[in-house]
Amino acid sequence: MAELIGQISTSHVPAIGGAIARKLQQDPYWKPFFDGFPPLREWLDQARPDIALFVYNDHGLNFFLDKMPTFAIGAAPSYLSADEGWGIPTIEPVKGDPALSWEIIEGVIADEFDPTTCQEMLIDHAVTIPLQLLWPDRPPPVRIVPISINTVQHPLASAARCLKFGQAIGRAVARSESDARVVVISTGGLSHQLDGERAGFINPEFDAMCLDAMVEDPARIARYSNHQIVELSGTQGLEILNWVVGRGILGGSARELYRNYHIPISNTASAVQLLERVAG
Ligand code: DHB
Ligand code: FE
């Protein structure tokens, strides 16, 4: 049985990749954001996960608007990144774990979810930037399973459906034959809107509610419709769905070990949160 040990959630703004490339971690604009990561790295060094389940939304690098799976799961032995047009560096190929990928795919399909299965999958800034933030200047010491959630092209799965999808993944991981230690890394959010009349919209009150609900009661987020989330959190604030899937995977009770909230980074209310699974 694989063991779910915790969930790290983080924003994934592309400009962070530029700041890493230009070594701006101590720059006054960036420091409050980058200061959120040493506590996560210390926890990872102690917790020593073998596999990271990455829950994120693809931004057009792998899936474009003409073909957009609601849920997609990677089952490749390794994953390449590529130029998305943001001008940020690509990273070395990242190792996958096809065995756990297929256990998850088979498990969720048996549980009445129907994800797209991807034996080749490009990973974008939503995966590469968190990897660079969590394991700077070294290859990530984890294999990954990418789980892509459509938060872009409507209609989207509801937050309630996303929570249930995560719970189905969590059950599949619990049934796995592997004895790997598994961390969930969910990326995106919090409130932001990149274009249109409300470009730059941020809602600290809604973000605070989401951060609290992630710890105590993720169903509180799942009660909002996607239209309500757009209204309260901006069009790209819907990336909270990735956090909700991740929290469903972690399941049960969780203890919050750390959070950092800083506005803005680019157009985004940036946040990191570390939850540790409470046994039982
Ligand atoms: C920004 C935020 C995102 O989540 C993203 O995917 C791209 C850009 C931003 O704030 O610039
Ligand atoms: Fe995004």
Measured in Å, residue 236 CA sits from the centre of ligand 1 at 8
- Residue 280 confidence (pLDDT) above 80: no
Q: Give the 3-state secondary structure of residue 247.
A: helix
**DSSP state, residue 236:** G
Q: Mean pLDDT score of the chain, rounded to an integer? A: 97
Ligand whose nearest atom lies closest to the CA of 190: 1
Exposed / middle / buried, residue 11 (Cβ in 10 Å: 0-12, 13-18, 19+): buried
C-alpha of residue 10 to centroid of ligand 1, in Å: 12
What is the pLDDT averaged over residues 207-235?
98
Ligand with smallest separation from the Cα of 242: 2
List pLDDT tens digits, range 87-112.
999 999 999 999 999 999 999 999 99
Alpha-carbon distances of 166 from 30, 74, 113, 184, 272, rounded to whole Å: 32, 15, 10, 10, 19
pLDDT score of 194 more than 90: yes
The pLDDT-based confidence of 83 (bands split at 50, 70, 90) is very high
Answer for the pair 151, 238: CB distance below 8 angstroms, yes or no: yes
pLDDT band at 137 (very low <50, low <70, confident <90, very high): confident
For residue range 3-43, what is the model confidence (pLDDT) as tens digits? 999 999 999 999 999 999 999 999 999 999 999 999 999 99
Q: How far apart are CA 195 and CA 247, in angstroms?
A: 28
Residue 189 CA: which ligand 1 atom is closest?
4
Ligand 1 centroid, distance to 70 Cα (angstroms):
20
Against a cut of 0.85, is the pTM above it? yes
Query: What percent of the chain is predicted at pLDDT more than 90?
Result: 99
Q: Residue 84: which pLDDT band, with cuts at 50, 70 and 90?
A: very high
> Is the C-beta atom of 12 inside 6 A of ligand 1?
yes
In the block, residue with structure tokens 């040493």:
38
Atom number in ligand 1 closest to CA 188: 4
